[in-house]
Structure 1
């Protein structure tokens, strides 16, 4: 239980399901106001998302965030919101993982991120799944260059089916997460997560470990919630995510993130 007098200096916010409805770009007015009150009090507000950079930029612009870093692709891409430049990027060879996943998931579609531009895709994703320019390619071109983010969607299946198929399977030297709402798998470079990226950023900013707050709702937020001195899960988060959090707030439809921030940055 954090003391009432405590106030976070570094605030990490997931996007989808936390400050926006999934796949949307506009932040609810109550959440927007709470974020800006935190900034006005001197807090570092960092968007920490599984989205690619091109999917993150509209939310940064909607919030008019400047002077901070956006952590994209689950920690693999850092974007300076003032210079609007990538300041850190980690990539990996996705070819071995794609080969294994194609055997495990017949009929699945895949995409590798082209940072700041869009994606190369093997197969066609449903409309709205991918941000930016999407260019369909063959498997050789899909993995011809290292990428910061590989995603897979198993069409007409469930997240539970994806997770079950991956039970006791090693995807090699990578990090990965299954979405809790869609049959969607995200793969990142080994050792990269929202939590690991935020720890590096915290050290760079000179913020104490005890002055960190994180809010999220997905399996890819678990490392971030554990990293924070005070981790808060959204009300619609799966039970396994809520279990690792220090507290649970309302759902995204209830502006749960605003309720958390208002505890320390009330109007």
Structure 2
């Protein structure tokens, strides 16, 4: 009997949508729908905040599942449309450290389901929802599930080099490979850890899991899955931890993977 995954974790940006765009390609959409029709739990597992994830969930019509947002810090029930789990951290120590390390960096703390508080101005389109510029003290006054940092005018390579051997207290950090962008979540919170908790709650066997992703924040998710697949345009470090590599997002690589198990 052909193996079919029962729990499928899909990254969004760079996996089911091209970077900077919100459209899911028809082939990818159809492949996701076939997986759902065959009874698989399809979970969007993303670094996006909830407010940036909801439109993709609704566009795909996903119900009776969980969306894992903010790299695992926020869980959203797609049927009740309620946050069912949220883990937050104190952003203060990291903000102070990073402001000293990254001159001209801008910061945004997630306000779940509403938008962000920002210290400095982000380029248009960077943040979802309402964005309110605040002072440093206002930014760090409340715990947040997700803090994002953009080093304005720099490259992803410059950001990674500046943060070599830098330990940020009490957080999990991931770098973007296409923009000078850093995402911080609570300690121990990753897509992989969140998906393991969800797998146990659903009663899915360890060997019945599949994950597809393309970024630094997908590494733990790809390691978690019984079969982890990296997108073709993923950095070498991401492809090296995967069990397989598919074609790029522009070539509908996620559809190619799903079609092996849920053919038309």
In the alignment, does 2:19 pair up with 1:22?
Answer: yes
Cα displacement (A) at 1:70: 0.1
> What SS does the corresponding residue of 1:91 show, helix, strand or coil?
coil
For residues 108-257 of structure 1, the aligned pairs below 5 Å read 108-257=105-254
Secondary structure in structure 2 of the residue aligned to 1:145: coil
Match of residue 50 from structure 1:
47
Q: CA deviation at 1:259?
A: 0.1
1:34 Cα deviation from its structure 2 partner: 0.1
- TM-superposed CA distance for 1:126, in Å, is 0.3
The answer to whether the Cα contact below 8 Å between 1:25 and 1:62 also exists between their aligned partners in 2 is no
TM-score, length-scaled by structure 1: 0.98
Q: Deviations over 1:68-90 (max 9, x none)?
A: 00000000000000000000000
Name the structure 2 match of 1:264: 261
TM-superposed deviation, 1:22: 1.6
Which shifted more, 16-25 or 111-120?
A: 16-25
* Cα offset, 1:8, TM superposition: 0.2
* Cα distance, 1:24 vs structure 2: 2.4
* Alignment partner of 1:79 is 2:76: yes
1:172 to partner: Cα distance: 1.0
Per the TM alignment, residue 23 of structure 1 is displaced from its structure 2 partner at its CA by: 3.2
Unaligned runs of 5+ in 2: none
| TM-score using structure 2 length | 0.99
Aligned length, in residue pairs: 264
Give the whole-Å Cα distance in 2 for the aligned partners of 1:238 and 1:26: 23
User: Which 4+ residue blocks in structure 1 deviate beyond 4 angstroms?
Assistant: none
CA offset digits 1:162-195 (Å, max 9, x no partner) = 1111111110121001100000000000000000
Aligned: 1:11 with 2:15: no
In structure 1, how many angstroms separate the alpha carbons of the residues matched to 2:22 and 2:138?
30
Structure 1 stretch 220-229 or stretch 162-171: which is displaced more?
162-171
Counterparts of 2:243 and 2:108, CA distance in 1: 34
